[in-house]
């Protein structure tokens, strides 16, 4: 019995419908998609890392500025240097530089 229609579920039917080069082209397409995804993920990871580093640096700078401002206020109120060192976590030298 001769089939009237090509069965796409068989290797013969698939090759007859799409050609034998289809697998090579599909593989090239999948490789290019994977390469694109790798590049996009690398860029996103770099952006996240850079953003996190910038946030940490900004927070540290802001924290130090806040401590210096409080220490300067305490100095102007006449609070002893040793007490300001304990309360702020700044060194005596940093606090003395605030007086200038």
Entry pTM: 0.46
Query: H helices of the chain, where?
Result: 11-18, 22-76, 81-88, 92-99
Let me know: does 69 contact 94? Beta carbons within 8 Å: no
Per residue in 59-83, pLDDT (tens digit) is 888 888 888 888 888 888 888 988 8
CA distance 40 to 88: 44
Extents of the domains making up the chain: 11-99
**Phi, psi (rounded to 5 degrees) for 91:** -80, 165
| Per-residue 3-state assignment (H helix, E strand, C coil) for 11-29 | HHHHHHHHCCCHHHHHHHH
Q: Which tens digit of pLDDT belongs to each residue from 8-67?
A: 566 666 666 666 666 677 788 888 889 999 999 998 998 888 888 888 888 888 888 888
């Amino acid at each position: 019995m001769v089939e009237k229609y090509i069965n796409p579920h068989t290797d013969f039917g698939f090759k007859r419908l799409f050609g034998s080069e289809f697998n090579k082209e599909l593989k090239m397409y999948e490789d290019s998609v994977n390469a694109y995804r790798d590049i996009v993920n690398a860029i996103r990871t770099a952006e996240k890392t850079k953003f996190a580093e910038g946030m940490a640096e900004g927070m540290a700078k802001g924290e130090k500025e806040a401590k210096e401002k409080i220490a300067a206020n305490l100095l102007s109120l006449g609070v002893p240097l040793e007490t300001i060192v304990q309360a702020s976590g700044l060194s005596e030298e940093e606090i003395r530089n605030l007086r200038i």
